[in-house]
A and B are shown apart, each in its own frame.
Chain A
Amino acid sequence: GNSVTQMEGPVTLSEEAFLTINCTYTATGYPSLFWYVQYPGEGLQLLLKATKADDKGSNKGFEATYRKETTSFHLEKGSVQVSDSAVYFCALRAGTALIFGKGTTLSVSS
């Protein structure tokens, strides 16, 4: 079956530090891959996506590359800000359903 595994948090960083949140997936076929972010008190928002192998999704300084050979979609940002503190969810879509990882809480301090 389809599944998503992402690193457990919480991840605590200082402002301007480099961020990596690992995400690997198991899927039949060729799913689309997503990162969603949930800020405190708000709904999930699409951060970035990639729909085929070697695609790189990017938004707000965040990047993730769809690696079919390693079935991975790791989220990276070169310099985090306090405002990036949130819960990050990796997800895949096969058909209409989104399948989520458990979420990783990121806390950035100044």
Chain B
Amino acid sequence: GAVVSQHPSWVICKSGTSVKIECRSLDFQATTMFWYRQFPKQSLMLMATSNEGSKATYEQGVEKDKFLINHASLTLSTLTVTSAHPEDSSFYICSAEPTGQALSYEQYFGPGTRLTVT
């Protein structure tokens, strides 16, 4: 149980286009999901916290107009990279926290999405 999927697993897009990444909790509901970005040989950096039915909370330095997050249901959050540029190329990882289990500190991670912008 407690599986999180991401789609696509990798994507290549041209500069200036937009890309949508999906994060799904397959066997549990998640009021809260998190989006991370990972550079090669670097740690995961939290980009934003996504809450079902409300606006996402972005970390300092993350452009909310560039990285659009929508958490429309208890099992799905999407990250859209708008007007992508080569510097947006990275590994994007989502995680989901089961509803009602915040105090357990458990987050379940997706396998990540490799974005390459040419």
| Chain A residues within CB distance 8 Å of chain B | 4, 32, 34, 36, 41-46, 49, 51, 89, 93, 96-103
Contact = CB atoms under 8 A, between A and B. Distances in A.
A44 B93 contact: yes
A18 B70 CA distance: 45
A101 B43 contact: yes
Interface in B77-118: 93, 95, 102, 105-112
Nearest to A42: B111
Q: How many residues of B sit at the interface, in one of the four size bands?
A: 20 to 34
A45 B109 CA distance: 7
Closest 4 pairs between A and B when the two form their complex, measured CB to CB = A43-B109, A44-B109, A100-B43, A43-B111
A32 B4 contact: no
Nearest to B108: A43
5 contacts: A43-B112, A89-B44, A96-B49, A97-B49, A97-B59
Contacts of B93: 43-44
B41 to A, nearest CB: 7
